Amino acid sequence: MLSDKLKEELNKQLNREIYSAYLYMSMAAYSDANGLPGFSAWFQAQAAEELAHAMKFYNYMSDRGVRVVLEAVPKPTTDYDSPTHVFEETLKHEQYITENINKLYELAVQENDYATQTFLHWFITEQVEEEKSVNQVLDTLRLIGDKGHALVMLDRELGKRGQPAQNA
């Protein structure tokens, strides 16, 4: 049985995941408006992934007999200074999510809730991958800058995310 505190914190994390999807949709819209359809596709794929994460929390809580309570989703930022700035903000957000997943895990340990600890292992591993992925794009952007042919090439590369591999 989940403690009231753990129920509350799991529910907060589910809502954070929904906000993450909303934030990434806003970043996709910014990218589209600035002629970067590949960046937009990357953020749209990221948004879909975040909604899948929210559903993992939803299903886990439901399986444990917890009623999910959806909260209002705050308006995300809609303007950024540059493509690099968008990814800097993406990294900050992923670090925030990582911090909250870790706090949830610490609470599950304190409460001796082994099922929740096991459930959260997937998210801990996922956050390592999320931060790595964003850092790789950010490192590339810092090398190439926010204008020019290299940015167009990166845009094309990011647009491949989520597309099926082509058979040769």
To the question of pTM greater than 0.75 for the whole model, the response is: yes
| Token pair listed for 102 | 């870790």
* Dist. CA 93–CA 50, nearest whole Å: 12
In this prediction, residue 161 carries a pLDDT of 84
Per-residue pLDDT of 57-98, as tens digits, reads 999 999 999 999 999 999 999 999 999 999 999 999 999 999
pLDDT value at residue 167? 46
Residue corresponding to tokens 């790595």: 132
Residues 6+ apart with CB under 8 A from 112: none
What are the angstrom distances between the C-alpha of 162 and each of 60, 103, 109, 143, 157? 26, 30, 35, 25, 11
Of all helices (H) and strands (E), which one includes residue 65?
none
pLDDT (tens digit per residue) in 3-55: 999 999 999 999 999 999 999 999 999 999 999 999 999 999 999 999 999 99
Answer whether residue 122 shows pLDDT above 90.
Answer: yes
Place of tokens 């989703």: 73
CB–CB of 87/138 below 8 Å?
yes
Domains defined along the chain, listed by start: 4-158 (1.20.1260.10)
Q: CB neighbours of 69 closer than 8 A, spacing ≥ 6?
A: 11
- Dihedral angle computed from the Cα positions of residues 7, 53, 77 and 143, in that order, rounded to the nearest 10 degrees: 130
Q: What is the pLDDT of residue 162?
A: 62
